[in-house]
């Protein structure tokens, strides 16, 4: 995966989401950080990454709302282009994020979730396979290690 990757990172107002956003921005990736609450914390992350010449935008979205998740992907594409990576750092499940990810993540892309039990519907799983999208679950502490292995493949 080259320097031009676009990643959506959920949980932007929490430590794991902030750490992942900073790490991916350090690799030269464009970041769309997602939050629902704690806007000032997210704004601080955005300012921090922009100060290092990173590319980042914040999008407020409720991952339990179908239209919000659709808007998230639309705003991500408008800001930086096609999405290659989705990182769900929250432990709460996000079935809509997975479902829409199957349609909006680039072929060959990846969706990583820290939500234990985030199971993919069989129809959605088939869509992932058909488009060559990897879906996996890892611990919040291992997300950057996992993605580093993926990008170096």
In this predicted model, what pLDDT tens digit does every residue of 65-112 receive, in sequence order?
Answer: 999 999 999 999 999 999 999 999 987 778 889 889 988 999 999 999
Question: What CATH number is given to the structural domain containing 72?
Answer: 3.40.50.720
What domain count does the chain have?
A: 1
User: Is 1 among the domain residues?
Assistant: no
Report yes or no on 17 lying in a domain: yes
The residues, any chain, with a CB within 8 Å of residue 20's CB and separated by 6 or more, are: 9, 87, 89, 143, 144
Quick check: is 124 in a domain?
Answer: yes
CB 46 within 8 A of CB 126: no
> Is 23 contained in some domain?
yes
What's CA 131's distance to the chain center, in Å? 18
Is position 138 within any domain?
yes
| Residue 120 belongs to a domain | yes
Q: What is the pLDDT of residue 115?
A: 67
Structural domain range at position 81? 6-152
Q: What is the pTM of this model?
A: 0.91
């Amino acid at each position: 995966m080259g320097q031009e990757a676009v990643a959506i990172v959920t949980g932007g107002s929490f430590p794991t989401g902030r750490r992942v956003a900073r790490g991916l921005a350090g690799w030269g990736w464009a970041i769309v950080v997602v939050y629902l609450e704690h806007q000032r914390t997210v704004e601080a992350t955005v300012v921090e990454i922009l100060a290092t010449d990173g590319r980042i935008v914040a999008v407020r979205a409720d991952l339990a709302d179908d239209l919000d998740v659709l808007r998230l992907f639309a705003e991500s594409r408008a800001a930086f282009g096609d999405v290659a990576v989705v990182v769900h750092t929250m432990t709460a499940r996000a079935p809509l994020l997975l479902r829409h990810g199957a349609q909006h993540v680039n072929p060959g892309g990846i969706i990583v979730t820290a939500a234990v039990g985030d199971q993919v519907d069989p129809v959605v799983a088939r869509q992932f396979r058909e488009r060559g999208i990897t879906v996996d679950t890892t611990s919040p502490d291992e997300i950057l290690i996992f993605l580093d292995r993926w990008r170096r493949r």
